[in-house]
Amino acid sequence: MNQGKRVGIVGAGNVGATVAYSLAMLGSCHEIILRDNKIDVAKGKALDMSQAASAVRSHTIVTVADDMSDLTNCDVIVVTAGSPRLPGMSRDDLLMINAKITKEVIEGVAKYSPDAIVIMVSNPLDAMTYVALKESGFERSRVIGMAGILDSSRMASFIQEKLGYGGGQIRASVMGGHGDDMVPLPRYSTVAGVPLEDLLTPSEISEIVARTRSGGAEIVSHLKTGSAYYAPAKSTAIMVEAILRDTKQIHPCAVYLEGEYGYSNVVSGVPVMLGANGAEKIIEVTLDDTERAMFKNSCNSVSSLIDTLNRNNFFKGE
């Protein structure tokens, strides 16, 4: 079904390489093309993955793009390239550095794979998705940020840990930006269809919500020298699969809003229907006053990052 499909991955670090490995094991596409500044490292990983694909009788081959011009005619391009936040670096510093990297990558994507659907994974996620959309000139359905699936899976994992049962039957729901202001939705979270509020106390649910918000930081505190990559990569691969297979499944993803939920000119995580054309439909769920206030706070946080980019004349090419 996916014979001939090509997936480009820009940034072959832990997240990018694990996305590639996950897709290669599934045989999701004919070719995966890695692009990284460290060409030899990318080549070594590509060989290793191609051999792993052969071991499971997957027809996927993994190759390397020496230059962005080799990333041609891709159906989907995943962008994980970016700088981590280093000691002494402010959030605004990181924002400007990664916005410049994203801009450069997206110029290449728009030139060499003009029909691709772009999945952004670089942080700060929502702002980078905004940059990618503005710099590509693509319609908003083709530039999507990965965060909601990851945050929802973290919440589901914490629910399972707290309950001690229900594994595989937990559906957790998280909206909003990918960060401290994300909006976990216990009211829309269930275990085999049973509302979470019927299974846990309000204080237990509050504990899960707080832990979900700091899910990434908790992993960093253990790893010391890096951040999470298995769950972010698998969450990204789920999005790629939904697009390549045209599943029309609903997943929470970061998209540019044009009036949905009452917001415009901002990127935020909301439920979308993923298919061959990207985010084909935005689903508007009913939020109560508390949830609306949290979503507003989350959108305001992303807007402030966009304002910082505008203050620095980022979109004027300066």
Is the Cβ–Cβ distance between 82 and 102 less than 8 Å?
yes
* Predicted confidence band of residue 306 (pLDDT cuts 50, 70, 90): very high
Catalytically active residues are: 178
Is the model's pLDDT at 297 over the cut of 90?
yes
Domains of the chain: 6-145 (3.40.50.720), 148-309 (3.90.110.10)
Matching residue, tokens 């299974």: 199
Give the separation between CA 19 and CA 40, rounded to whole angstroms: 19
Cβ contacts of 110 within 8 Å, gap of 6 or more: 135, 136, 137, 138
CA atoms within 13 A on the CB side of 120: 37
Q: What is the pTM of this model?
A: 0.96
Average pLDDT over residues 132-143: 98
In a 3-state reduction of DSSP, which class is residue 36?
Answer: coil
Share of the chain above pLDDT 90, in %: 90
Q: Would the pLDDT of 85 be above 90?
A: no
Arithmetic mean of pLDDT, 84-93: 77
Comparing 58-67, 136-145, 211-220, the range with the smallest average pLDDT is 211-220
Q: Which residues pair with 256 in a beta bridge?
A: 267
DSSP per-residue codes, 247-272: --EEEEEEEEEESGGG-EEEEEEEEE
Say whether the peptide bond before residue 124 is cis (omega within 30 degrees of 0).
yes
Q: What is the mean pLDDT of the chain?
A: 95
Q: Quick one: pLDDT band at residue 92, thresholds 50, 70, 90?
A: confident
Residue found under tokens 């990918």: 178
